[in-house]
Structure formats: structure tokens, C-alpha cells
């Protein structure tokens, strides 16, 4: 119990404080969030992704095992979302909200800062989380968009959406430069390091600002089932797959923790853009983020005990 309290104080509480500061700032100043979100997506996040992969000591033989895990985990969570939606008899936007909320995790604004705190002494853990982040972004703009408007975008249009994501190019550049062992000159490495250093705080402030705009109304049953699927069933599925594949050590810890992150904020953003139950999507994100302070604390503790 004492260790769980320590995990909460050292990892989760700092994140909640930054989220709270973001909520307060948004309530007071009513910032336009689109420019800030673009700044995070197109500047700070790519720098953080590039630097962490570039500086990590990655065993490339483990990437195949990691890829297999992600395929199995993502497929399993899609099945969980589909089964829950059918069991509840959901239709239309409610069905979409449940399926996307179970499958799509907030690996960026929430997950990466958590990983930085948990694995501050072991950058491999952060690198694993970055790969999960990239895969989740790819999933959001393929599976997530398909659920929202399956007839609105062609395969070519979805591919164009993916090519607009700067983290893909940052990840590729980092892998290439690390593989050929190129040392960055200081006039490039210094600004990249400064941008990467500012990502975690700005990302959490932005998430808090976004949560401040969500109105809490009637509690829909989808919220409860999506929280169960994302925060409880997700880590349970991940644990089974990790043991099944024989993954151990820091990589197992990072994957297990990553499976417990709350629903992606992008689900609410895209739902608003396509007008598919935007209020329900937003409330799912809000409740999932709040409840994750409890579940993520427990998963972090459990990961340190098991691996």
C-alpha cells in the first residue's frame, strides 16, 4: 500500500497538478486551443519523438516481438469494443464512441509524460512508449476515422492524412540516423533538446485546457462500459499477451503501463469535426482521464512487481 501511494505521489500527482493548472488557465483566459494543439503536434511532439529514439539504446531484434505484441493487442481491443457494442445493442454514434474509446489510447499528451516520469533512468521504456504512440496515431487516422465516417474518406484520403503526421518523419529520421551512427551537430541538437524538454509540460497543460471545455451532463451507459474496456480489460489483455510472448524487463513494464492509458483526446476532436455524438465522445474522454489516475497508479505498481 505504501508503494502504491509512492507511485501516485511521484508519477500521477504531478500529472494531475499540470492538468489542473491547464483547467484553471483555460477557465480564466479562454485560450484558442487549436493553435496550441498544432504547436504540440507539429513542433514539440516530433522533437520529443526524434530525441528519445535517437538517444535510446534499442535492440532492433526486439522490434519484431514488439510489432507482434502491438498487432495482437490492437486486434484484441478492436474485438473487445465490437463485442461490447453488440452486447449492449448500440447503434450509430453510440456504437462508434464505445469502439473508438476502447481501442484508441491517449499515448501522447498523457502517456508520454507518464513514461518520462516512470522510466527517467531507463530511456528504453520511453522509446517503447514512443513506438506505441506512433502506432496509436496511425490507428486513429485509419480505424478511428473509419468508425466515424466509413464512407467519408477513401483509402487515398486516409493515406494522405497519415502523411501529414510529422511524428512519422521524426521517427524515421531518428531510426536512420541511429542506424548509420550519425552524431548531430550542436546547432541542431540543442534546439531539438529544448523543444523535447518542453513537450511534457505543454502537452499536459493542453490536455487540461481541453478537459476544461467539456460539459458534464447525464451519465450515459457508454461511459461506464468504455471506461471498463479501456482501463480494466485493456491492461488485462495486455498482461495475457505479454506472458504469452514471453516479454520481460523494461519492455514488458512499458507495454503493460501503456495499455492502461485513458481514451485518446483525438476521439473527441474527430467526433466534433464529423458531428458524431461529440458530447458523448468528450465525456468519455473526461471520465476516462479522471478514473485513470487510480487505474494507472495500480498498473504501474503491478508492473514493477511482475517484471
Q: Which pLDDT belongs to residue 35?
A: 87
Average of per-residue pLDDT across 254-280: 84
The yes-or-no verdict on residue 251 having pLDDT over 70 is: yes
Using alpha carbons, select from 16, 14, 6, 8 the residue that is nearest to residue 211: 16
Residue 153 confidence (pLDDT) above 70: no
Total Cβ atoms within 10 A of residue 291: 18
CA distance 258 to 250: 12
Residue with cell 522509446: 127
Query: 245: pLDDT confidence band, cut at 50, 70 and 90?
Result: very high
Nearest to 102 by CA among 256, 218, 231, 291: 231
Task: Give the tens place of pLDDT for each residue, 173-228.
Answer: 988 898 888 889 999 999 999 999 898 888 889 888 888 887 776 678 899 999 99
- State the Cα–Cα distance between residues 202 and 200, nearest whole angstrom: 6
Range in 16-25, 28-37, 60-69, 142-151 the model is least confident about: 142-151
CB 270 within 8 A of CB 256: no
| Predicted local confidence at residue 149, as pLDDT | 66
Q: Where are the domains of the chain?
A: 2-306
Q: Nine-digit cell at 164?
A: 501529414
- List CB contacts of 264: < 8 A, sequence separation 6 or more: 100, 104, 105, 106, 107, 108, 136, 140, 144, 285
- At 147, is the pLDDT very low, low, confident or very high (cuts 50, 70, 90)? confident
Burial class (CB in 10 A: 0-12, 13-18, 19+), 229: buried
Q: Quick one: cell of 28?
A: 480564466
d(CA 300, CA 51): 24
CATH number of 2-306: 1.20.1530.20
> In the predicted model, is pLDDT for residue 58 greater than 70?
no
Q: What are 75-104's pLDDT values in tens digits?
A: 999 999 999 999 999 888 899 999 999 999
Amino acid at each position: 500500500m505504501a508503494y502504491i501511494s509512492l507511485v501516485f505521489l511521484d508519477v500521477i500527482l504531478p500529472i494531475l497538478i499540470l492538468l489542473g493548472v491547464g483547467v484553471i488557465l483555460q477557465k480564466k483566459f479562454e485560450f484558442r486551443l487549436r493553435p496550441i494543439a498544432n504547436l504540440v503536434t507539429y513542433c514539440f511532439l516530433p522533437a520529443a519523438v526524434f530525441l528519445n529514439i535517437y538517444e535510446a539504446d534499442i535492440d532492433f531484434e526486439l522490434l519484431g516481438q514488439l510489432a507482434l505484441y502491438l498487432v495482437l493487442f490492437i486486434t484484441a481491443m478492436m474485438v473487445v469494443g465490437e463485442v461490447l457494442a453488440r452486447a449492449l445493442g448500440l447503434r450509430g454514434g453510440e456504437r462508434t464512441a464505445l469502439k473508438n474509446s476502447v481501442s484508441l489510447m491517449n499515448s501522447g499528451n498523457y502517456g508520454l509524460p507518464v513514461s518520462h516520469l516512470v522510466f527517467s533512468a531507463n530511456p528504453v521504456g520511453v522509446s517503447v512508449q514512443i513506438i506505441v504512440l506512433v502506432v496509436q496515431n496511425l490507428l486513429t487516422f485509419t480505424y478511428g476515422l473509419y468508425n466515424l465516417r466509413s464512407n467519408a474518406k477513401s483509402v487515398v484520403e486516409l493515406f494522405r492524412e497519415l502523411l501529414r503526421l510529422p511524428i512519422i518523419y521524426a521517427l524515421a529520421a531518428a531510426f536512420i540516423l541511429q542506424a548509420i551512427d550519425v552524431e548531430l551537430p550542436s546547432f541542431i541538437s540543442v534546439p531539438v533538446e529544448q523543444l523535447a524538454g518542453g513537450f511534457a509540460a505543454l502537452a499536459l497543460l493542453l490536455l487540461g485546457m481541453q478537459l476544461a471545455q467539456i460539459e458534464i451532463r447525464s451519465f450515459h451507459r457508454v461511459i461506464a462500459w468504455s471506461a471498463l474496456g479501456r482501463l480494466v480489460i485493456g491492461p488485462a489483455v495486455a498482461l495475457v499477451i505479454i506472458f504469452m510472448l514471453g516479454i520481460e524487463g523494461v519492455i514488458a513494464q512499458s507495454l503493460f503501463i501503456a495499455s492502461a492509458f485513458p481514451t485518446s483526446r483525438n476521439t473527441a476532436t474527430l467526433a466534433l469535426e464529423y458531428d458524431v455524438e461529440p458530447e458523448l465522445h468528450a465525456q468519455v474522454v473526461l471520465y476516462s482521464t479522471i478514473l485513470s489516475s487510480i487505474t494507472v497508479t495500480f498498473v504501474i505498481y503491478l508492473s514493477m512487481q511482475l517484471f
